[in-house]
Every structure is written in C-alpha cells, then in structure tokens.
Amino acid sequence: MCPHTLKSPVPSPAKLLIVDDEVAQMKALCDTLRDHGFETMGFSSPQKALQAMEDNSFDLLLSDLMMPEMDGIALLQAAQQKDPNLVAVIMTGEGTISTAVEAMKSGALDYILKPFRLAAVMPILDRALAVRHLREENAQLQQRIRERTAELEATNKELEAFSYSVSHDLRAPLRHICGYSEMIGDSPGSPLSEENARCLQHIVASAKKMGQLIDDLLNFSRAGRAELRKVNLQLDDIVDQTWQDVQPETEGRHIIFQKGPLPAVRADAALLRQVFSNLILNAIKYTRPRDPAKIEIGARNEKGEVVIFVCDNGVGFDPAYADKLFGVFQRLHSESEFEGTGIGLANVRRIIARHGGRTWAEARPDAGATFYFSLPA
C-alpha cells in the first residue's frame, strides 16, 4: 500500500452510562448525546446500571442525584468500586445544588443542572473525558512501573545470587594457593633462592589480597540480600561498641576521638554497625600520617531526617571525585599509599539506601574528609 493511502485509525466513541429514574428524560439525553458522537446506554434503575457494568466498560457515568431506588452518591461509590477510573457527573435540579456539591466531595467530577442545555453539557463532558483519559494513562503507567520494578528486583536477585556463588566458590582454590605456597616456603628441604622466596611471598600476599576482596564482595552481596530487621537503636551504643571493636587498628597511634550527642533511630542494628565500622576504619586508615589524628562523630536533625557525620583530619581527597568514592572498586589513592579493596563505601551507600537514607562526602586534599549519611527521623 502506498504511504499516501494510509489512514489514521478512527478513535472509538466515548461510552456513556446514563442513569435517571425519569425515563423520558433519560432517553432524550441518550438520543441527544448519541447524535453528538457518543455511544450511550441508559437505565432508569441504578441496580440495572451496575449490572450493565459487569459486561461493559464505560468512560463516563451521568447519574441523576435524587432517585428512589439509590441516590446518585451511592451509585457513584458502587460504580467506582467496579471501575476506579470511571469519571462521574451528577445531574440535578436548581434546588439541590448544595447536595450536588456534596456529591463532588464524594468523588463526582462535576454536576449538570436540569433542564439540560447542550451548550453547558458539552464542555463538562469534554473535561470529564480528559480526566478519564488521564486516569487510564496513569493506571497504565503505574502498571508498567510495577512490572518494571518486579523485573529489576528479579534481575538484581539473580545478579546478587551469581555474585555470591562465584565469590563463595573462589575461596576454596585461594585457600589451596595460600596453603601450598606457605608449605613450600616453610619446607625443610633445599632452601629457595632469594628471588624465588620473594616471588613466593608475592604469591601469598596476592592470594590473601584476593581473599579479602572476595570477603568484601560477599559482604556487599549480603548487604543487598539480607532482610532488614529494624528496631529502635541508640546510636551512642552502636558507636561505642564499634569503637571498641576497631581498637586493634589503633595500636601505637595517637588518636583523639570525639563523639557528640547522638539520637535514637530505627534501623537494622547489624547493618548500621557495619556502616560505622567502615567509616571509622576509613578515618583511622587515612589519618595514618597525622599525629595526633582526630576523628569526630556527630549528628544533626534536618527536615525530617537525621544526618550523621564522621569527620577526620586525614589526607582528604579532591572534592570533584566525591561521588566516585561510593562505587564498587573505586579508589582515589594508590594501594602503595593506603591498602583496601574499594568496596567499603559502596557497602555504606547500599545499606543506607535500603534504610531510605542518603550518603555523601566533603573533603579537600590534605585537609581531612567528612562522610555523611542520613536516616529517616
């Protein structure tokens, strides 16, 4: 078919459900609106109108307000239980406008005064149809979002399961590499040459580094898969316990540790301890050239959330790369300067995001750094 012969599909006419116990008036309105391009179905009984909705889909409901069997408000509520996107317009006389306004509070979009004037009715129907289309589009969008979210969740679970499986399976051969290398180094037989001994040391060190990397990947995977068990926590207790846990890393160091007033929060205790452990160990590591080193932990309230910070006087970093720090395997310092796998801060961001919070950092080169995270108040 030639392009110029193609025609756009003709839109189907809007379907109107008209309910009025005055039969003559209901039929007249059906006929009039049908002549103006609408598809109409009329009933004098609200119950029969509801039954018709079982087998038919309607864009608009036009209902009389005062009917003996069921008033327009009750009909509207029953109809919207069957079709939440249905748009309703109430028809009423001059003496019941205040009741029509009450109907709008119950979910009607607008009202039409009897006796009908087509010039007044058509703009109301046009607006009602526009609202109907918006509701349908919104419902479709919400459905697509739900489907896409479900797909992403399934994909993430598969990736995390794969990551966990691979990381777990890599540990066994690494243990063999470390074990046999150390056995060779400790063998009482012919001593290794200086060069071979040095190579063997590199093998063991690299295997141990890879083991640490695998452990960090497993922790990262667990942080995304573990079920959140939120309880009421005192941050003071969490920080004190974490500081005690990291004491072996501070031996021989002069570190001034300060802790401001910390609030109670609702969070997963184990995961929050992991957050503080990562941030405090980071501060201990990057203040290594300082004597004394200073580490401060504090909090403040901001617009419905609690902001916690861990501040140090360490080597800092270029603020242009602040957000890069929270990516997996992202490092701003060479391994020869500071050891690490680049997963700790990614773990922090993942844990805090699961709690509905934010993470960010501020710093200057050679002037310390401050890491922030927030939790819902």
Q: Using one digit for the tens of pLDDT, what is the confidence trace for 194-223?
A: 888 888 888 887 787 777 777 777 767 666
295 and 324 housed in the same domain: yes
Q: Is residue 121 part of a domain?
A: no
Mean per-residue pLDDT of the chain: 83
Report the alpha-carbon distance of residue 59 to residue 76 in Å, rounded.
13
- State what percent of residues in the chain have pLDDT above 90: 25
Q: Are residues 219 and 281 in the same domain?
A: no
User: Rounded to an integer, what distance in angstroms lies between the CA atom of residue 63 and that of residue 75?
Assistant: 8
On whether both 366 and 238 belong to a single domain, the answer is yes
Residues 82 and 215 in one domain: no
Q: In whole angstroms, what is the distance from residue 193 CA to residue 138 CA?
A: 74
Question: Is residue 193 a part of any domain in this protein?
Answer: yes
Write down the pLDDT at residue 3.
Answer: 44
How many domains does the chain divide into?
3
Q: 284 and 246 in one domain?
A: yes
Would you say residue 108 has pLDDT above 50? yes
**Range 147-172 average pLDDT:** 76
CATH number for the domain that contains residue 305: 3.30.565.10
Tell whether 255 is covered by a domain: yes
Query: Is the pLDDT at 57 greater than 50, yes or no?
Result: yes
Residue 264 counted as domain residue: yes
Which of 53-57, 95-99, 170-174, 246-250 has the least mean pLDDT?
95-99
Higher-pLDDT residue of 159, 37: 37
Asked, for residue 350, whether it belongs to a domain, the answer is yes
What is the per-residue pLDDT for 8? 45
The CA-based angle 128-134-138, given to 5 degrees, is: 145
- Domain with residue 73: its CATH number is 3.40.50.2300
Q: Do residue 372 and residue 233 come from a single domain?
A: yes
The predicted structure's pLDDT at residue 365? 84
Its domain, for residue 65, covers 8-116
Using the predicted structure, report yes or no on whether residue 44 has a pLDDT greater than 80: yes
Distance CA(124)–CA(121), nearest Å, equals: 5
Same domain, 174 and 36: no
Residue 290 has pLDDT above 70, yes or no: yes
